[in-house]
Structure 1
Amino acid sequence: MDMKLLLKGFEVELFTGRPNGEHVGVAVEVSQELQEFVKEPDQRNLEYITKPSSDYSLLRESLLAPRRKLRSWLRPKGLTLLPGSTLSLGDSKRFERSDLSNPYHDLIETSYGTKVVTASIHINLGLEDLHLLFAALRLVRCEASLLLALSASSPFLDNVPTGMHSQRWSQFPLNPNDVPLFLDYEHYVRWVENSLLSGVMRNERHLWTSVRPNGPRRPYELNRLELRICDLITDPSVLLAVTALLELRVLSLIKEPEKLDPLKSSELSEIELAVLSDKNDLAASKDSLDAALSHWRDGSLIICRDWIKDLVEEVTPLAKELSMLDQLSPLASVLRTGNQSMQWLQDYSQGKSIQSVLKEGISAMAIEEMQASRAEMML
């Protein structure tokens, strides 16, 4: 089979603040002056969306260009971009509304408060064939915990360590509480319609889970898979590596559906797989790469880091075939030295304050951007 790379795009949420790590909300002003950015319900974070592309070099620039523009806007105001996916230095007791007249924002604040005030990366893969889309959704749902573990960057909240590597995922209000492993498109449509009728979902966007189908008119017109579980990954090379692993798993599924569709190749039922996946997500939010997870094939225990190594080994032949080894290679460093949360917690355990850790992270984030930009100019 002649494999082609999929269209890929990102929804990137960012926190803004001072160089000392203090969060400062400017989403209202930014969204008015920079057309690339949209405000979130709480003005301390904002979002931009990249243009879909199958080319990884174009994706890198589409990730960096809005950040450079935002930095230029922030700099004269003494502000910067903050790493991490939670209100690391606080204040999570206070909701800072970006639009007091927006009824949806009112619903968010009333129902969830600052549990939703987080920064994350949503990765979208274009899949228009509905049969393939739902098979991919099943596989990615069962392996989403691995991608969360690679991305974890939120060990702090309100200036204390929380005991979680992804505090963001542990606090974020998943909705509805029980989301099935969708058997096909028709199952998904019926389930969404029933959820809307019962009020469990307030609108078609109110499906907050690790991965979901997306498209121009949900639930009826779908054209992509949206992975929602990842914390903010500030290093573009690592983000593209995580994206490459996700894409290679989906392309492998397209080549070998009987082997990789959990509905066809697992010893567990679809109900058991949904429960297993949700438990794995929570385990990864606590211990990330060191988490003990249950494999979707048979429920056997496996350490997250080992499972990821197995997947990288599995997709390597296809990566070579598609000239994607360079995109995949940064994962080796993450597996060796740990994700952002693990590195931060290591620094904290050695006596550094959370503010000091964040200040170093702010500098590292800026350096990553400069290095990535230079690398692009040399290509």
Structure 2
Amino acid sequence: MNMRFLLKGFEVELFTGSFTGKNVGVAASVTEDLSEFVIEPDQRNLEFITSPERQYSVLREALLSPRRKLRKWLAQRNLTILPGSTLSLGNSNYFERSDPLNPYHELIENTYGTDVVTSSVHINLGIEDSSILFAALRLIRCESALFLALSASSPFLDGRSTGVHSQRWIQFPKTPKQVPLFVNHDHYVSWFKTQLDKGIMWNERHFWSSVRPNGDRRPHDLNRLEIRICDLITDCDLLLAVTALIELRILTLIHGVEQLDPLEVSNLNVNELALLSDLNDIAAAKTSIDSTLNHWVDGKSIKCRDWIEELLESVSPLAMEMDMIETLKPIQHVLNNGNQAIQWLDRYSHGESIEALIQQSISSMEQEESTTHQDIS
């Protein structure tokens, strides 16, 4: 196919806290000293953004370097980076403002409360051709449940098990509540302006969906696809594997839009596809890779694990051509051994405390950063 890698970047949200696993908010102080981090409305978490890159080897270091800097800053205050995408041992009964004078933060707190106090990773892939961008948007939205299933890491909240694998996606206020499957750029622009005119969306940033088009001047100037559904993936190799699977799907789409664009292939209409995708996302949030979903091609039920296996098989020839087989391997490990949420819940069911699970994962994150740094040196 002679494909070229897409530009890729990440927006990574992280929780901070004590080595016991308790959330401690220090985002405002961090951003005063570390310029690569930005605050979120609640100061118990913060965010860093990587620069667009094509090569996975470069992306790995781009993901780990800010974590090392943050960890060093936190260690001087006897604090650390916390795994998971919800306030696992925190207190969701109150909002801890990072900027008390910010009116936008006040609006978020008053409207949503701590439902928005989560951490995640947003995966951005550069696509400048409008027709390809919206075809990719349709495809990845119809398959977004699979990427949530692989990433699920939020089964706990306020020191208890919630009964789901991604409490983050269950509680996070998707806005607007109903988003169509956009047929083209004009459809998107028209819909976007309607949401603003009706006050459903407050501004261009207030579009919180599983997947969205993005760019420097939304909704007009667009140059990338942003996948927002994934929980925080602390294992960088798994994050890169999920990204690689998405990229390979998009590259395959570019090679033959008529074979992968849901508008061209599915037996369902656009309204049915939008509803199916939303229901799949919720099903994946509840039981992740153990869930039963409905396929966008024909609406028939399919096991999440089987669907992911199908995707891996479908991209295998291109992955071999682009030397990405090794990059994809962590996905098979998740299918065999479970994602973060499943592993945590299994150990929790055998008597381990949430505190012990979080503390062990803190050590695993630190070890990944330390080992990688030594290897590169």
For this structure pair, what is the TM-score category when the shorter chain's length is used for normalisation? over 0.9
1:340 aligns with 2:324: no
Q: Decide whether the 8 Å contact of 1:135 with 1:261 is kept in 2.
A: yes
Compute the displacement of 1:375 (Å).
4.2
1:294 matched to which residue of 2? 294
Distance 1:159 1:83 in 2: 14
Compute the displacement of 1:279 (Å).
0.1
2:108 matched to which residue of 1? 108
1:264 matched to which residue of 2? 264
Secondary structure class of the residue paired with 1:205: coil
1:323 matched to which residue of 2? 323
1:85 matched to which residue of 2? 85
2:198 matched to which residue of 1? 198
Distance 2:17 2:335 in 1: 30
The aligned runs of 1:142-161 (5 Å cut-off) are 142-161=142-161
Compute the displacement of 1:372 (Å).
3.1
2:210 matched to which residue of 1? 210
2:70 matched to which residue of 1? 70
1:275 aligns with 2:269: no
Q: Which amino acid aligns with 2:109?
A: E
Distance 1:246 1:125 in 2: 9
Distance 1:376 1:243 in 2: 22
Compute the displacement of 1:376 (Å).
3.8
Instruction: Give the RMSD, CA atoms, in angstroms.
Output: 0.8
1:177 matched to which residue of 2? 177
What is the number of equivalent residue pairs in this alignment? 377
**CA distance 1:144–1:258, change in 2 (3 Å):** same
Distance 2:357 2:199 in 1: 43
2:251 matched to which residue of 1? 251
1:304 matched to which residue of 2? 304
Distance 1:109 1:158 in 2: 18
Compute the displacement of 1:373 (Å).
3.0
**CA distance 1:336–1:374, change in 2 (3 Å):** farther
2:13 matched to which residue of 1? 13
Compute the displacement of 1:368 (Å).
2.0
How big is each residue's C-alpha offset from its partner over 1:344-365, in whole Å with a ceiling of 9 and x where there is no partner?
Answer: 0001000011111111111111
Distance 1:15 1:170 in 2: 19
What 5-or-longer segments of structure 1 have no aligned partner? Answer: none
Distance 1:374 1:303 in 2: 40
1:285 aligns with 2:285: yes
Compute the displacement of 1:59 (Å).
0.3
Secondary structure class of the residue paired with 2:25: coil
Q: Decide whether the 8 Å contact of 1:152 with 1:341 is kept in 2.
A: yes
Secondary structure class of the residue paired with 2:76: helix
What 5-or-longer segments of structure 2 have no aligned partner? Answer: none
1:165 matched to which residue of 2? 165
Q: Which runs of 4+ in 1 moved over 4 A?
A: none
Q: Decide whether the 8 Å contact of 1:38 with 1:46 is kept in 2.
A: yes
Secondary structure class of the residue paired with 1:123: strand
2:45 matched to which residue of 1? 45
**CA distance 1:166–1:56, change in 2 (3 Å):** same
Q: Which amino acid aligns with 1:168?
A: R
Distance 2:63 2:244 in 1: 15
Compute the displacement of 1:366 (Å).
1.0
Distance 1:155 1:371 in 2: 28
Q: Which amino acid aligns with 2:345?
A: L
Secondary structure class of the residue paired with 1:230: coil
Distance 2:265 2:42 in 1: 43
Compute the displacement of 1:256 (Å).
1.6
2:33 matched to which residue of 1? 33
Secondary structure class of the residue paired with 2:366: helix
Distance 1:36 1:326 in 2: 30
Q: Decide whether the 8 Å contact of 1:291 with 1:303 is kept in 2.
A: yes
2:57 matched to which residue of 1? 57
Compute the displacement of 1:138 (Å).
0.1
Distance 1:371 1:339 in 2: 22
How big is each residue's C-alpha offset from its partner over 1:33-56, in whole Å with a ceiling of 9 and x where there is no partner?
Answer: 100000000000000000100010
Q: Which amino acid aligns with 1:288?
A: S
Q: Decide whether the 8 Å contact of 1:150 with 1:288 is kept in 2.
A: yes
Distance 1:44 1:361 in 2: 18
Compute the displacement of 1:370 (Å).
2.3
2:355 matched to which residue of 1? 355
1:4 aligns with 2:29: no
Distance 1:83 1:100 in 2: 26
